[in-house]
Amino acid sequence: MGPDSAFTPLPREFYNAPTQEVAKALLGQVLIHDKPGSQPCAGTIVETEAYLSEGDPGCHAARGKTQRNAPMYERSGTAYVYLIYGMHYCLNVVTAPEGVAEAVLIRAVMPLYGLGVMPQRRKTESIRQLCSGPAKLCQAFGIDTDQNYADLTQAPLYISAPDGPGPADAPRIVTTTRIGLAAGRGDELPLRYYLADSPFVSRR
DNA sequence: CACTCGATGTTCT
DNA sequence: GAACATCGAGTGG
């Protein structure tokens, strides 16, 4: 019984909603990486950030198209993976229509499957430390620039609704400013979202 | 706990 | 040459 028996990719339409709505709707969904040749990894998304094409200096595409941010201009549901600080990868979900550069950064995940391989890759036994940050989850899931431009509506890297019945009550979502942006680069915009009751978020 | 700092190298100016 | 959507080790309360 692996994760693929329980999960089905969300359809492209899911990513066609306005970026902030997608960022919130992604909370509670399940990220799956069925990487060929290694143990499948899955986790519940608990923290996201939106990056917008208008009025957002923190967006990688704020100053136009470059080689790095080119995936942001692809159709919604495309993966945008980039290297930061020369050693860490971050995973984004492209949202807006083709030609409009918006995306949602996946910032934290609650591990579900892959508990064999994640601690090895992360070099920690602490479950809470496995995926509680954008670069941490990429390392735990084995995500790097090989997955740049990947189509997230199909394996091996995709997002699914959770398995089984959902929670009785709608989970409470906290909206705050984004993490890690320099002053004046959109650091005041309320575009970060996380599940209030999750112990797996990167920071409070 | 809170905070500072160094690692590390690609991308863009 | 500077910036960078981070992380972890180290220090001091």
Alpha-carbon gap, residue A91 to A41, rounded angstroms? 15
Average pLDDT for chain A: 96
Q: Which nucleotides of C are covered by protein (CB under 7 A)?
A: 3-8
A72 CA → C10 C1’, Å: 38
The nucleotide minimizing the C1' distance to residue A64's CA is: B12
Alpha-carbon distance of A169 to A182, in angstroms, equals 36
- The gap between A186 CA and C10 C1' (Å) is 31
- Residue A87 CA distance to nucleotide B6 C1' (Å): 13
Q: Whole-angstrom Cα distance, residue A123 to residue A118?
A: 8
* Full-model pTM: 0.97
Q: What is the pLDDT of residues A51-71, one digit of tens each?
A: 999 999 999 999 999 999 999
pLDDT digits (tens, 9 = 90+) for A3-54: 777 899 999 999 999 999 999 999 999 999 999 999 999 999 999 999 999 9
Q: Is A88 helix (H, G, I), strand (E, B) or coil?
A: strand
Quick check: A65 CB within 7 A of strand B?
no
Judged against a pLDDT cut of 80, whether residue A1 lies above it is answered with: no
Q: Say how far A23 CA is from B4 C1', in Å.
A: 32
Q: Where are the domains of chain A?
A: 3-195
CATH no. for A3-195: 3.10.300.10
